Amino acid sequence: MLRPNAPLGSMLAGLIAAERPKPQWAKLAHCCRGVPELADSAMRIALFEPDLPPNVGTLVRFGACLGLAVDIIRPCGFPLGREALRRSAMDYFDLADIHIHADWAAFQRDVPGRRVLLTTKASQPFHAARYEAEDVLLLGRESAGVPDFVHDAAALRVCIPMRAGLRSLNVALAAAMVAGEALKQTGLYPR
Ligand SMILES: C[S@@+](CC[C@H](N)C(=O)[O-])C[C@H]1O[C@@H](n2cnc3c(N)ncnc32)[C@H](O)[C@@H]1O
């Protein structure tokens, strides 16, 4: 999306993105603002109906720094707006490739790539899995993980092994661990 007062980097990124066929993102969505190389980002992090703005902000910052697009699947447990996102992601908001989807069906329709679900219910440890450059690393809600239909839609389900009896990791930490392994395997760390 081009804005009249956008910096040059952002305008170039917009032009690059405009060349490619693009799904209809929700109103808030924007593409590759300020960072032209993100126009080529393949691997993505997707947040299923996130509850907590600080986690979303942490993951937007993570995506900006590591070159991962961030998909946010509504509804969220808080009023998701540009200002809420900017507050939690700070200036990284302008440096990230964020896409907002109205719901799970819209996300499924608009975003290609294999769904890799991070879940405590998987038996396969994340470090034993094989990742692909276009994988979508899908994370559940802080309060409830994902419903069965999302679990069933994933092509690969991985867990981060934990000590017995403990519930789960923070969603952003879980994303960082698995994305770290996936980026290493696919050679997609920024250079
Ligand atoms: C706070 S956890 C959700 C806990 C939720 N009560 C449940 O039962 O799934 C939020 C998300 O972080 C990810 N996560 C946290 N710990 C994980 C682990 N050990 N293995 C895989 N994913 C994990 C999952 O995507 C999970 O849905």
**Per-domain residue ranges of the chain:** 40-186
The Cβ of residue 133 has, within 10 Å, a number of other Cβ atoms equal to: 13
Using CA atoms, how far apart are residues 59 and 73, in angstroms rounded to an integer?
14
120 C-alpha vs ligand 1 centroid, how far in Å?
5
Q: Could you tell me which CATH number the domain at 40-186 has?
A: 3.40.1280.10
- Ligand 1 surroundings by CB, under 6 angstroms: 118-120, 139-140, 142, 144-145, 159-160, 162, 168-169, 171, 174
User: Residue type for 103, please?
Assistant: D
Write the burial class of residue 161 (CB in 10 Å: 0-12 exposed, 13-18 middle, 19+ buried): exposed
The per-residue pLDDT for 27 is 36
The per-residue pLDDT for 31 is 44
Using CA atoms, how far apart are residues 185 and 167, in angstroms rounded to an integer?
28
Do β-strands 98-101 and 115-118 pair in parallel, antiparallel, or remain unpaired? unpaired
117 C-alpha vs ligand 1 centroid, how far in Å?
10
Ranges of residues in the chain with a pLDDT under 50 are 1-34
Residue nearest atom 1 in ligand 1 by C-alpha distance: 142
Q: Which residues contact 109 (CB under 8 A, 6 or more apart)?
A: 23
Q: What is the largest CA-CA distance in the chain?
A: 54
Residue nearest atom 2 in ligand 1 by C-alpha distance: 142
Tens-place pLDDT, residues 163-179: 999 999 999 999 999 99
Q: Which atom of ligand 1 is nearest to the CA of 169?
A: 16
| Radius of gyration for the chain, computed over Cα atoms and rounded to the nearest angstrom | 16
Residue carrying structure tokens 């961030």: 70
Give the sign of the dihedral formed by CA 134, CA 84, CA 29, CA 107. positive
The per-residue pLDDT for 83 is 86
Tens-place pLDDT, residues 49-78: 999 999 999 999 999 999 999 999 999 999
The per-residue pLDDT for 82 is 85
Q: Which atom of ligand 1 is nearest to the CA of 171?
A: 12
The helix (H) or strand (E) run that includes residue 169 is: none
Phi, psi for 109 (deg, rounded to 5):
-70, -40
pTM summary value = 0.84
What is the three-class DSSP state of 44?
A: strand
158 C-alpha vs ligand 1 centroid, how far in Å?
10
Give the end-to-end CA distance of the chain in Å, rounded to a whole number: 26
Give Cα separations from 23 to 40, 99, 149 (angstroms). 15, 10, 23
Give Cα separations from 84 to 94, 137, 176 (angstroms). 13, 23, 22
The Cβ of residue 8 has, within 10 Å, a number of other Cβ atoms equal to: 9
Residue nearest atom 4 in ligand 1 by C-alpha distance: 145
Task: Tokens for 52, please give them.
Answer: 């907590």
